[in-house]
Chains A and B, each alone.
Chain A
């Protein structure tokens, strides 16, 4: 399922852009992110923990920023291996629309899981993906705007 959302960032587009491409900011906002290290242009290795009810898994993977169109848009691609739990992939297309001194951040995101997680958790996938996306973008808003984000 594809989900979409929007955040109003209380910062101009240029500031918003530099933040959303800043690995330190990404690291701070990705839910459960434990480490994030640059391995190439727009490519980072990352370790993140995810917890859904009694289930928890640690993913080791890669974040790539693709289709970069500064300062308007990019695609954030995540691919992670959770060992015995399976794997997860996610992708968010992010657009920044200037709105005076603020920015409208629009995103569409989709997620896919594989292995045991898919086998046992299909009823929860969409809900979890939505929650992760919302939590990332509102954390980003809070981080950049300095106030609690509103989705």
Chain B
């Protein structure tokens, strides 16, 4: 008898904010503004240098920082599991269009910046990040934009990513249940309608609570 194919595991739910690394290392304790500034500096450096040694060194630096700050590497690298397809496509494109060395440099550059950003998210409370965002957006007041409003919009956007991922999965299952696995419309239209409905419900709930900024 032929061995049965292994059942497909259920993917874990996506989560952008709100998943903090346990513990209280030095990164957990340092102020959010400083961490954001360091991240910006680090990213700028890696992007400007465009040197394989700098980029690869950046990846190593991020990993070492994580270890020193007692952040489990497993949580940091979970990012790769989410983005592997994108990274594979990028790698393939680079190999096709460029030489391997440039490809490795581009990939390590992307990895270094993404992992550094993930490290920030893992060690900072979302509320602190929002506070930093508000400070950064403060100059927009000149243009008549309320920083608190923009921050709320950003927060709602981040909040809806996992929701949309759920909806996408559900739309896929609903399509499959009707035998429409390969029908693009059946897989995307419910997602679109669900997104609009979710946006409307969120807006209503916020305005019922009288909240228009954070």
Whether A associates with B in a native complex is no
